[in-house]
Structure 1
Amino acid sequence: MNSIRFQVHLSEDSIIQYATRIEAPLQRIGGALIAPSTMPITFWKIADAPWLDMPEPLIHGKQQFHYGAPLTAGMDLDCDLSLTKVETKAGRQGALTLYTHSLTCSCAGKHIVTVETVLISVGDKS
């Protein structure tokens, strides 16, 4: 299906801004600032996935995070975002199209996080 590769530099400023927006506490490990566990959802804006360029809004379905190590300030992440599945289901307000994604990020070859996300659009796509 569709997939893109991109890089993310995780700065202290970006972690502080995100943590402040979601009212998450700031934490450190070995002196390094740790990103809130949901921060990878912001990486999609950097990715600019062309298949997500839709006129209708997308609803967030579900999301799972699988961490191999914490996200910390100073990391240069190599990320892969893939659209792994598209399915249509009947909903109360019409057809629902479910877009399943996988975002995998590593740093210096070490797995950091994999995020599985389902986004939903409402309405007939035919």
Structure 2
Amino acid sequence: MEYARSIEAPVQMANGVPVAPATMPVLFWQAFDIPWLNLTEPLIHGTQRFSYEAPITAGMTLECELSLTKVEKKTGHQGELTLYTHTLVCTCEGEPIVTAETVLLSVGERS
């Protein structure tokens, strides 16, 4: 409910149980040590996509795994771009709940 309030989203209910806003899995990144993102240059948020099998509801205990699934180099208007594609998979009691794909970009040569 705190997250919903922080993004000014209405709290949805399912069978009398609060349902988390669709973007809530972005908070789960805070629980991970992500050494491949220890860069000196800033990152730009590219794209983000959420695919739900079931809603995240109050009281769930989620097991989440974050993976770097793709690193791609491209040339853009500002020079070399590196795209880091991440996949976050969350399950509850072994059942898939949500998969979130996030692309972060760095501009310039990696330090």
TM surpasses 0.5: yes
2:70 is the alignment partner of 1:85: yes
How far apart in 2 are the matches of 1:51 and 1:97? Answer: 12
3-state DSSP class of the match of 1:43?
Answer: helix
Query: CA offset at residue 20 of structure 1?
Result: 1.4
What is the CA deviation profile of residues 49-84 of structure 1, one whole-angstrom value per residue up to 9, with x for unaligned ones?
222222222111111111000001111101110001
What is the one-letter code of the residue matched to 1:93? Q
Moved >3 Å (runs of 4+): none
The match for 1:61 is: 46
**Unpaired segments of 5 or more residues in structure 2?**
none
2:57 is the alignment partner of 1:72: yes
3-state DSSP class of the match of 1:45?
Answer: helix
Q: How does 1:1-126 map to 2 (within 5 A)?
A: 16-125=1-110
How far apart in 2 are the matches of 1:120 and 1:99? Answer: 6
Query: CA offset at residue 23 of structure 1?
Result: 0.9
3-state DSSP class of the match of 2:25?
Answer: helix
Is contact 2:20–2:57 with CA below 8 Å preserved after alignment? yes
What is the one-letter code of the residue matched to 2:29? W
Query: CA offset at residue 45 of structure 1?
Result: 0.9
How far apart in 1 are the matches of 2:110 and 2:98? Answer: 32
What is the one-letter code of the residue matched to 2:18? L
CA RMSD of aligned residues (A): 1.1
* TM-score (norm. length: structure 1): 0.83
Identity %: 61
**Unpaired segments of 5 or more residues in structure 1?**
1-15
